[in-house]
Structure formats: structure tokens, C-alpha cells
Amino acid sequence: MNLVVVSNRVSRGKANEPMTGGLAAALLPVVEKSGAIWVGSSGRVRDGAHKEAFAEIEALGAGALAMLDLPAAHYGGYYEGFANSALWPALHSRTDLIRASQEDYLSYREVNAFMARALLRFQKPDSVFWIQDYHFLALGAELRDLGVTDPIGFFLHTPWPARAVIGGVPHHRELVEAMLAYDLIGFQTDDDCENFLSYVRSDLGLAARDGVVDSRHGSLRVGVFPIGIDPEKFAQQAAKAVLHPDVSRLRRSLNGEKLAIGVDRLDYSKGLLNRVNAFDRMWTLQPGLARTASLLQIATPSRGAIEAYGNLQNELAKLVSDVNGRHGEADWTPIRYLNKGFSQTVLAGLYRTAQVGVVTPLHDGMNLVAKEYVAAQNPADPGVLVLSKFAGAANELDTALLVNPHDIDGMARTIATALSMPLTERRLRWEAMMKKLRSGTIQRWFADFVDALQETHADKGVGERLIAEPPAPWPRRPADLSARYH
Ligand code: G6P
């Protein structure tokens, strides 16, 4: 099998590379071992890229990494525009933040079409394509339009929200119809999968049962594949990382004080303002916790050119400084707030140092920080995970202290409980979570999806069908758009 994995962001696998997002870091170890070719954006743009795709190709484990320069004229409209100012807010149920112009949508479709053409270069007779995340909802349909009959799967790392919310995305119908070109679509949770099926039934009027959607293009399977981590490897990394100079300096600076840690991309879906408000509330309600427990919040800047992200960065900086100003002392800073990225090694050591991990997004596909925090703990003296019930991870990590991130008082009380939890209870909760992590590893996720994709494709005999009878056309890109490049 010639597996071609596609995602917007890729990772070059350098040990000290700062990790800004779950997807690339999560995929790296499995893609490396699988021998797949991993295709994504180089982060650079190029004029005239649409005429001839330029890819920098390097070895990656048993396979290769191909980084494409994306078309300069469309990159902004695709990445900052439609993907991250229309789809991302909608997928996280923030319809109030949707900003999308027609040009952005056209650019998004252009980049999907560009990627499809570029992928042909990596196609071999036994290819399997696996497309990742919301940047490429229409890539499967573009590949089918180019005559590709190989298995094509898609996995969504974010949530898929309620029907009415998706209805807030301009061109939502066209996009979901384009998604029907995939053989298999994977979601993180049952709720995401159900929401998708409900849209398909009610808005597209299609029959969907037992995870199979029938459309005029044939059938499409949908399923739930919760993404995992490699808990044993992460645990070993964490045990070693406590000796890392950055981690030992942090330990020394604590002087026996307890530490809670939060590590997030600076994104409005992560509930950062609510979290800081909860700590504020906790120190107000329980002044005894001042000096004895502080928060280390790492908020890695992300998508900074987008207004909503710039606004959040300003608001958060102001809030943190206000809370520190009110609760701090000459020799004690309640919140250590850092706006930069760290390597996975350092993060593993920081997680192990903290007695409490706070992962309190308003909505999150999975949230691998939650899983990594658990895996990084010392089995003899594990820390406590405070986890939002709106993170996909809460389905598996149900022995964490689950919180509602909108209930500031409730979160304040729960964080205080976590800080004083006795060892026996901490161990029981932690062992139950580790068991879940061990049974749902990233290796298993990868293998399960690829197996299911191959099976689905074999069952439906797409190749034969497409060759025997020309399929009804996929929802077209707007006409002026195809005319430009063909
Ligand atoms: C989330 C998305 C990923 C994305 C990551 C980082 O995890 O699901 O697709 O790569 O955030 O975001 P960025 O825009 O920096 O790639």
C-alpha cells in the first residue's frame, strides 16, 4: 500500500521543534513508522504555484515528507480566511466569530483543487489517501474529479457541531456534498458523528443508517475514531525530561509551592479567559491558597493575523496582569504567563512537575494535552487532571475532575479540590485514566482508520463503479474558478 497522508500543517520531526498544535505532533510518530508519504504546506507561498507545484521532499522515518509552497494569491483567503475565520469558529460553535467573504471561499476551493493536482505526483497503483482536518473538506471531491478511484478517507480533528451551527458557514451545503466523495469519514466522538449524520439526513435529505450514508455517488461510511497518544513513550520522555535544565529551574523556583499547569494554543476555543477567572475566584474565595499554589499558563500564539486571535491575546494579557496585580506579592506571582512554544520534551517535564493539569476548553475535538498530562505523571505520586466536559477527551478520561468551563465558581472549587486531593484518590483516578490511554493509543487509531478505509473501499468497489458508469459530477467549484486554471 502506498499511503499518502495529507494535512495543512506537518512536522519535520526535529526533537526540539516547538509544537503548536495537536495534529502535527500526534501524527508524526505514526506517520514516521508507517512508511507513508506525508504531504502538507511548507508555510511558504509562491507566485504561479498553481502552474507547477513546488515541493520540498525529505526523508521522514521509513517514509517521506513533502512540503508544498501554496499559491500566493490564495493562501490568505484559504488559511486565515475560510479555514480559520469561517470553518474553525463554526466547528467550535462560535458562529458569532464567523467572517467569510466570497473571495475567501474561492481561495479555499482553489487551494483544495491545487492540493489535489499536486497529490497526483505521489499516486502509485496501490495508493490510499488519508486527508486530515477542516482545511481540506473538499479535497476528496477534487481528487475524484481528477479521476482518482483509490480509497480516500478523511478525519476531522475538530468537533462537528449541531446542524444549525454548520448552517452558519457560507456554502455549507456545497462543502458537505463534496465530503460525500470520501469513502470513510472519521470523527473524534459519537456526538460529532451524530451531528454530521443529522445534517446529512435533514439538510441533504439522504438516507443514513448504521454509519452508512447513501448518496447518488454511492455510499460513504462514517465512524468514530478517538485519537490517542503513545502513553508509554510519553511517560518515559517525561521521566527523563525532569532533568532538562528548563524543567529543573522551574522546580527550584517553586520552593515547595504547588503548581497547576495549562498549555494551549492561544485560541478562543480553549476557554483561557474563563480559566484565569476561575483562578482569580479561587484565590479570592480561599486566600490561604495564595503563595501555596500558582498557575503556569503557556499560551502559544497562533493565527495572529486574525482579528479574533489578536483581540484574545490583548484581553488575556490584560486579565492576567490584573489578577497578578490584585493577588500577587513582592515575592509571589500567582500566574506565570508565557506566550511562546515549547518542545514536547520540555512540555513532558513540565506536566510531570505540576500537581494539577487544567484543560478547560469551551469546545475541543479531543485535546491531547489532557492525555499527555496524564501519561507524564509519576505513578507513585500522580497529579490531578481538571478537564472540561466539552473536550472530546472527557469521554475516555471520565475519572478526571470534569468541569463546566462556563461555571467559574464551580471550576474554582474543583481546582482547589484537585490541589488538596489525597494520594489514594489521585492514584485510583490516574490508574483508570492510564488504562484508557493504553487501550486507545495513537498506533491503534492509525491502524484502525486505515484498515476501516481499505475495507470500506473494497466493499463498495468504487473503482469499478467509477469506471463502469461515469458518476454524477461532484458539486462544482464556482465556474469562474475552474476556468482560471484549467
Ligand atoms: C488544531 C487543528 C490542526 C492545526 C492545529 C494548529 O489542532 O485541528 O489542524 O494544525 O490546531 O493550528 P495551526 O493553524 O497553527 O496549524
Which CATH number does the domain housing residue 43 bear?
A: 3.40.50.2000
Cα of 232 from ligand 1 centre, angstroms: 25
For residues 262 and 395, state if they share a domain.
yes
Residue in 7, 17, 23, 84 to alter for ligand 1 test, most ligand atoms within 8 A of Cβ: 23
Same domain (yes/no): 340, 449: no
* Residue pLDDT tens, the chain, 486 long: 999 999 999 998 776 677 656 799 899 999 999 999 999 999 999 987 666 778 899 999 999 999 999 999 999 999 999 999 999 999 999 999 999 899 999 999 999 999 999 999 999 999 999 999 999 999 999 999 999 999 999 999 999 999 999 999 999 999 999 999 999 999 999 999 999 999 999 999 999 999 999 988 789 999 999 999 999 999 999 999 999 999 999 999 998 999 999 999 999 999 999 999 999 999 999 999 999 999 999 999 999 999 999 999 999 999 999 999 999 999 999 999 999 999 999 999 999 999 999 999 999 999 999 999 999 999 999 999 999 999 999 999 999 999 999 999 999 999 999 999 999 999 999 999 999 999 999 999 999 999 999 999 888 754 444 434 445 556 655 544 444 332
163 & 188 share domain: yes
Statement to judge: residues 286 and 208 lie in one domain = no
Residues 435 and 446 in one domain: no
Flag whether 473 is in a domain. Answer: no
> What is the distance between the terminal CA atoms of the chain, rounded to a whole angstrom?
31
Q: For residue 56, tell me if it sits in a domain.
A: yes
Mutate which of 28, 156, 157, 366 for ligand 1 pocket (most atoms within 8 A of beta carbon): 157
Cell 475495507 locates to: 455
CA distance 439 to 45: 41
Q: Is residue 484 part of a domain?
A: no
Same domain membership, residue 378 and residue 330:
yes
Angstrom distance (rounded) from CA 258 to CA 105: 48
The residues lining ligand 1, judged by C-beta closer than 6 Å to any ligand atom, are 9, 20-24, 133, 157-158, 265, 302-303
Q: Which of 419, 439, 459 is the last residue of a domain?
A: 439
- Residue 149 lies inside a defined structural domain of this protein: yes
**Minimum-distance ligand 1 atom for the alpha carbon of 158:** 8
Residue 420 CB partners (closer than 8 Å, separation 6+): none
Which of 393, 359, 348, 351 is closest to 227 using CA atoms?
393
The count of domains in the chain is 2
Output the residue whose Cα is nearest ligand 1's atom 1: 21
Which mutation among 133, 134, 158, 269 tests ligand 1's pocket best, with the greatest number of atoms within 8 A of CB?
133
294/83 Cα distance (integer angstroms): 36
Instruction: Indicate whether 259 and 199 sit together in one domain.
Output: no
Answer yes or no: do 383 and 419 share one domain.
yes
What is the pLDDT at residue 460?
A: 74
Distance 191 CA to ligand 1 centre (A): 21
Q: How far is the CA of 158 from the centre of ligand 1 (A)?
A: 9
DSSP letters for 62-75: TEEEEEEEEEHHHH
| Atom 8, ligand 1: residue with shortest CA distance | 157
CA of 22 to the centre of ligand 1 (A): 7
CB 285 within 8 A of CB 412: yes
In a domain? residue 483 = no
pLDDT of residue 327: 98
Q: Which atom from ligand 1 is nearest to the alpha carbon of 84? A: 14
Residue 284 Cα to ligand 1 middle (Å):
35
Task: Give the H or E element holding residue 314.
Answer: helix 307-327
Residue where the block lists cell 458508469:
469
**Any domain includes 476:** no
Where b means 16+ CB within 10 Å and e means fewer, 187-197 reads bbbebbbebbb
Gap from CA of 263 to ligand 1 centroid (Å):
14
201, 307: one domain: no
- Ligand 1 atom nearest the C-alpha of 83 is 14
How far is residue 392 from each of residues 56, 159, 366, 369, measured CA to CA in Å?
Answer: 34, 8, 4, 12
Distance 23 CA to ligand 1 centre (A): 6
- Residues designated as active site: 157, 364
Q: Is residue 308 located within the same domain as residue 169? A: no
Q: Establish if 485 belongs to a structural domain.
A: no
Whether residue 342 is found in the same domain as residue 252: yes
Report the nearest-CA residue for atom 16 of ligand 1. Answer: 9
Backbone angles phi, psi at 45, to 5 degrees: -120, 165
Mutate to test the pocket of ligand 1, among 28, 265, 303, 364 (most ligand atoms within 8 A of CB): 265
- Residue 86 sits in the same domain as residue 177: yes
Residue 27 CA to residue 25 CA, distance in Å, equals 6
Nearest-atom number in ligand 1 for the CA of 365 is 8
Domain that holds residue 373: 231-439
- 72 inside domain: yes
